Amino acid sequence: MTADHVLRALEAVSAERAEGSVLSVRGLTVRFRLRGGRTVDAVSDADFDLGAGECLALVGESGCGKSVLASALLGLLPGNAETSGTTLLAGPEGGAGTDLLAADEKTLARTVRGRRVGLVPQSPAAHLTPVRTVRSHLEETVRALTGTSRRARREAAETAAERAAFPAGHLDRHPHELSGGLAQRAATALALIGDARLLLADEPTTGLDRDLVDRTVDELRRHADEGRALLLITHDLAAAARIADRVAVMYAGRIVEVAPAHRFFGPTGPRHPYARGLLDALPDRAFTPIPGMPSELSDLPEGCAFAPRCPRATVRCGTRPAPTAGVACHHPEQPRA
């Protein structure tokens, strides 16, 4: 099979995946304008699709642009942000989809956030009002989304808590009375109230011990298995390995590799040198750190941003590599034996 045949086959698979996707992202770019005319390219040309019942883990070092990407999908970027590309969110059954980047604030607030996209935030306790109980948070969210009667709101709040495995006996507690794991379940319950088809979990395991991390991501996986699409944004590779179907690796604002999780974490391993380095840095693997420091997003090189740290870099890496077969690299690693 020739290279042209391979590329056409991959394009056909990509088109088929996009057609049946809950979320289809093409060329998503986020740039921040700073004083003095400086710019920060936080996300550059991100492409991926996410289907119902699927978990895509977006991984990478802190500061690589993962959370900015999530904020762009929800329309929660600051005023100095400029965006381009398309982020098509599938509509209700038989309904038209919505380009989240093109939608105005009224559309996002009334028809998207909470209803079609649920957010499970990082540090959930910081997103809960300290003087209100969990029940009060849930009922207020039900009222905002559905406007039902007081009795119906109470029943809907208790149902959401049950779906998130939040104990009914803790509903009348305040955020400071909850453990980290229970606060995370409360945040998940809030995200589930609108029965959103897409869940964005932005670093949902920060500050939790290993046992709570496993329980939290298992709970998120259960909701994906019920038919929701789950975008898990994390730097915890063990959590990604536990529940992800596919892995997208981000470096300096760019997605440099997208691979099935079984291959990424399996014996053959990832093919991008940075992705390979992430795995090799884990304590249960080679425990070898990636040399050097990440490039500043305000001063990215013209070519491959990872080249200054890459042992495989050549003069060719002075030009930006185009993604081929899911890997944006001029010199991808060969699969391990």
Higher pLDDT, 109 or 14: 109
Structure tokens at 59: 């991984």
Question: Facing residues of 246 across strands?
Answer: 56, 260
Domain ranges in the chain?
11-116+197-337, 118-195
DSSP code of 334? Answer: P
Owner of token pair 């391990």: 336
Task: Tell me the average pLDDT of the chain.
Answer: 90
pLDDT of residue 268: 92
Cβ proximity of 176 and 130 under 8 Å: yes
Closest CA to 89 of 106, 109, 111, 66: 111
pLDDT of residue 18: 60
Higher pLDDT, 9 or 110: 110
Torsion, Cα 316 322 327 333, to 10 degrees, reads -10
Give 320-336 pLDDT, tens digit per residue. 999 999 999 999 998 87
Cβ proximity of 326 and 257 under 8 Å: yes
Structure tokens at 31: 């740039």
Cβ proximity of 75 and 265 under 8 Å: no
% residues pLDDT > 90 (the chain)? 75
Range 158-166 average pLDDT: 91
Range 45-58 average pLDDT: 97
Structure tokens at 312: 């495989």
pLDDT of residue 93: 73
Closest CA to 60 of 268, 213, 283, 233: 233
Confidence of residue 6 (pLDDT cuts 50, 70, 90): very low
Confidence of residue 132 (pLDDT cuts 50, 70, 90): very high
Give 263-297 pLDDT, tens digit per residue. 999 999 999 999 999 999 999 998 999 999 998 89
Round to whole Å and give the CA distance between 98 and 80. 23
Range 57-67 average pLDDT: 94
Q: How far apart are the first and last CA of the chain?
A: 23
Q: What are phi and psi of 106, to 5 degrees?
A: -60, -45
pLDDT of residue 12: 42
Structure tokens at 144: 């905002």
The SS3 assignment for 47 reads strand
Burial class (CB in 10 A: 0-12, 13-18, 19+), 279: middle
Closest CA to 102 of 26, 21, 50: 26
Give 194-215 pLDDT, tens digit per residue. 899 999 999 998 888 899 889 8
- Read off the pTM: 0.90
Q: Which CATH architecture has domain 11-116+197-337?
A: 3-Layer(aba) Sandwich (3.40)
Give 89-124 pLDDT, tens digit per residue. 998 776 789 999 999 999 999 999 999 999 998 888
pLDDT of residue 125: 72
Strands (DSSP E) found in the chain: 21-33, 39-51, 55-59, 81-89, 98-99, 117-120, 198-202, 229-233, 246-251, 254-260
